[in-house]
Structure 1
Amino acid sequence: MDQQIKHHTFVFERQCDADRERVFSAMSDPAQRASWSAPSEDAAFLYDAADFREGGQDAFRCGSKDDPQYTGTATYISIVPNTRIVWVEVVKSGGQTLAALLITTLLEDRDGGTKVQMTVQVTSFCGDAMIRGTETGNNASLDNLIKLVSR
Structure 2
Amino acid sequence: MTERSVTHSTFTLERVYDAPVERVFAAWGDPKAKNRWFAAVADGEEPTMEVDFRVGGTERNIYVNGKGGPTFTYEACFRDIVPNERIVLTNHMHRDADRIAVNLVSIEFAPEGAGTRVTLTDHGAYLDDFDRADWREQGTGEELDRLAEELKR
2:38 paired residue number: 37
Report deviation, 1:128: 7.2
In 2 relative to 1, CA 10–128 (structure 1 residues): closer, same or farther, beyond 3 Å?
farther
2:25 paired residue number: 24
The separation in 2 between residues aligned to 1:115 and 1:39, in whole angstroms, is: 22
Q: Which range is displaced more, 67-76 or 27-36?
A: 67-76
Whether the 8 Å contact between 1:44 and 1:64 is mirrored in structure 2 is no
Report deviation, 1:3: 3.6
Unaligned runs of 5+ in 1: none
1:101 is aligned to 2:103? yes
**Greater percentage in strand:** 1
Q: Which range is displaced more, 7-16 or 56-65?
A: 56-65
Pick the structure with greater CA Rg.
Answer: 2
2:62 paired residue number: 61
- Normalised TM-score (structure 1): 0.87
1:52 paired residue number: 53
The Cα RMSD (Å) is 2.3
Whether the 8 Å contact between 2:29 and 2:51 is mirrored in structure 1 is no
In 2 relative to 1, CA 140–2 (structure 1 residues): closer, same or farther, beyond 3 Å?
farther
In 2 relative to 1, CA 65–36 (structure 1 residues): closer, same or farther, beyond 3 Å?
farther
The separation in 2 between residues aligned to 1:121 and 1:139, in whole angstroms, is: 15
- Normalised TM-score (structure 2): 0.86
Report deviation, 1:68: 6.3
The separation in 2 between residues aligned to 1:98 and 1:60, in whole angstroms, is: 15
Unaligned runs of 5+ in 2: none
In 2 relative to 1, CA 40–31 (structure 1 residues): closer, same or farther, beyond 3 Å?
closer
